[in-house]
Structure 1
Amino acid sequence: MSVFLLTINSAESEASEKMNRLLASKYGQGNYIQLSDTAWLFEDKDSVTPQQACSVLDLNEPNNVAPYYGYLVSAFTGYWGFQESDVWQWLKLRGL
C-alpha cells in the first residue's frame, strides 16, 4: 500500500470537483482525502510509484481535469504540519 499526494495547478471549483469525482471513481470513498482545493492524499493498494498511480487515474486522458491545469503526484512518506483532525486520523489509519 502506498499513499500519494496529488496537487493540481488550479483552484477553480470545477477542477476540484472533477478531481474529487475522478478519485472517487478510481479509489472509492474513504481511500482519499481532500486537503485543499488543489491537493489530495490518496491510497493505492497496488501502485508503488507515482507514475503507476497516474496510470491508474488516467490523468492524461483528455476528459480528465489534469491535462488542462497541470498536476503533480508524489509519494507521501512523511509529514509535518497543521491540518484538520480528520486528515491526521486518515493518515493514522494508513500507518503513517
Structure 2
Amino acid sequence: MTSDWHGAWTGALDELELDVAHIESMLADEHRYAETPPASLWKPPTELGALPLELKPRADEILTRQLKAAEEIARRLTANRRQTAVTARIETGEAIKRPVYVDRAM
C-alpha cells in the first residue's frame, strides 16, 4: 500500500511538472506558443491522501516554478495591453475629418 501511495503521488507530481515545464518552454519561445494548441487543465488526482513527506521538497519546487510562470504570464499580458493601447493611439494615415476652422463669432 505504501509503495502504491508513493507511486501515485510521484505520478501526479510528474504530470504537474510536465505541465509547468511545457508553460516554461512556451514562455521561452513565443513563436512556438503561438502555434501550440491550448493544453487541457490539470486536475488533481482524487483519493491519494496526504502527500508523502519525502515528496514535499519536489512539490514545493513545482509550486515555485508555477508561481514564477504565472507571474511572467501576468507581466506579458500587461505589456501586451500597454502595446495595444499605444497602437490604438497611432494614426493610420487615413484622412481624419477634423474641424479646420471654428467660427466663434456666432
Q: Mark yes or no: TM-score above 0.5.
A: no
> Normalization by structure 2: what TM-score?
0.21
Greater C-alpha Rg: 2
- Structure having the larger proportion of residues in helix: 2
- Structure having the larger proportion of residues in strand: 1
